[in-house]
Amino acid sequence: MVDTNLDAFRFSISWSRLIPNRRGPVNQKGLQFYKNLIQELVNHGIEPYVTLHHFDHPQYLEDEYEGWLNHMIVEDFTAYADVCFREFGNHVKFWTTINEGNIFSIGGYNDGDSPPGRCSIPGQNCLLGNSSTEPYIVGHNLLLAHASVSRLYKQNYKDKQGGSIGFSILTIGFSPSTSSKDDAIATQRANDFFNGWMLGPLIYGDYPDTMKRIVGSRMPVFSEEESEQVKGSSDYIGINHYLAASITNSKLKPSISGNPDFYSDMNVILSFFANFSSSEYDVAPWAIEAVLEYVKQSYGNPPVYVLENGRPINRDSQLKEKDTPRIEFLQAYIGGVLKSIRNGSDTRGYFVWSLMDLYEIKGGYDVGYGLYSVNFSDPHRKRSPKLSAHWYSDFLKGKTAFLGSQGITELQSNLSPYS
């Protein structure tokens, strides 16, 4: 990290590593692991950006009351966050409670292809689940848990520690496939379902009207008190962004199973320009510009941190390609962020996904997003810089000319700290 010239690093704490059994004792080895990491970052002038929930929670809670499907998890998640604030908060000023709240709900409870693998869609081989209701229940509990943690921090820690609390979603740059009115309406509906689902409550205290109308009684309802707690509970919005998609209106039809699910509720045809597990990626910086403009226009221009942005490349082709496609991707998207800032977006940070190759939810070890390769068969997990690591390091040191000296200066002044 120091060699690359990072001045900030985003990582996630594993709830399961820290507190394996609900309110049981804290795992001291896990606690010390994170204390060592955070202290080492601070010693080298690197700002830690910490995520509390990144797709994993203790198996104990899943077995006891089905995890995020049960409102009881709000209290347990708050207790876990309390430990983190108390133990790490003197050095951590940026806390993201939930990583990709929308995707965790969809992937884990509608599609069943990510943890905990619940669904009722035929052909997905899920043993348990209900894709008609569970994604919305989980999303609701994620928002309530975030609001509870935010309230805890502001009441007990903020005055002393001076940190900020955020919530992240995965965003897709949507554009209508034609100039028709139907496709324009469908694109707004896709934005409401995919982005507004979480942003609406966080900014305005309730779900988008479109969602409430379509999902109906399956959509959980915030009490007046809950609405006030969720509204304004994020000091910033975390944006994870990789993909662009064109939107075509779909004539209303039942889902494959005969029961509604998230996609039949959204009722659009998505045509992606790439996918997470593919090395065939279009460079479409307009997509991140569209997302940041959408957040600015529709949700009052809140502070935004781009917490993930990057490009996968198949591991067996990376050395041959010298990962120049990743450099082209990052160069274009960082330029898109700069353009958005110039257009008034309150974007304050940008993080590449990822510093080094790791196990991906989509793609496992077959694809790598890392600036550094990792030899997974080496017991020491030797890390080696790819061409993109050298390029990114030069960019952070102000040596890359693609934005021009003025552009680099603008980014450095707006994205502070950035990595």
The answer for 179, left when phi > 0, alpha when psi is -120 to 50, beta otherwise, is alpha
The pLDDT of 35-51, averaged and rounded, is 98
Nearest alpha-carbon partner for 292 in 330, 349, 252, 254: 349
State percent of the chain over pLDDT 70.
91
Model confidence pLDDT, tens digit, residues 314-362: 877 655 558 889 999 999 999 999 999 999 999 999 999 999 999 988 8
pLDDT band at 419 (very low <50, low <70, confident <90, very high): very low
The pLDDT of 63-81, averaged and rounded, is 97
More confidently predicted of 77 and 259: 77
Token couple for 355: 């510093």
DSSP-assigned letter for residue 245: E
Asked whether 57 and 13 are in contact (CB, 8 A), the reply is no
CA max distance for the chain? 59
Asked whether 337 and 288 are in contact (CB, 8 A), the reply is yes
Nearest alpha-carbon partner for 338 in 409, 235, 419: 409
What is the C-alpha separation between 16 and 26, in angstroms, rounded?
A: 10
Strand partners, 170: 240
Model confidence pLDDT, tens digit, residues 204-219: 999 999 999 999 999 9
How many residues can be counted in the chain?
A: 419
What is the C-alpha separation between 356 and 248, in angstroms, rounded?
A: 36
pTM of the model: 0.94
The pLDDT of residue 258 is 73
Residue 417 pLDDT > 50: no
With a CB cutoff of 8 Å and minimum separation 6, the contacts of 240 are 99, 100, 168, 169, 170, 171, 306, 307, 308, 309, 353
Token couple for 33: 């692991």
Asked whether 78 and 148 are in contact (CB, 8 A), the reply is yes
The pLDDT of residue 283 is 85
Token couple for 231: 């509204």
CA 400 to chain centre: 28
Model confidence pLDDT, tens digit, residues 130-189: 999 999 999 999 999 999 999 999 999 999 999 999 999 999 999 999 999 999 999 999
> CA-CA distances (angstroms) from residue 394 to 238, 317, 331, 391, 400?
26, 24, 12, 5, 6
Model confidence pLDDT, tens digit, residues 188-204: 999 999 999 999 999 99
Residue entry with tokens 């510009």: 289
Catalytically annotated residues:
100, 308
Residue entry with tokens 């080496």: 378
- Answer whether the bond into residue 354 is a cis peptide, omega within 30°: yes
Whole-number CA gyration radius for the chain: 21
What is the C-alpha separation between 246 and 285, in angstroms, rounded?
A: 14
Strand partners, 384: 373
The Cα angle at residue 321 between residues 318 and 327, in degrees rounded to 5: 90
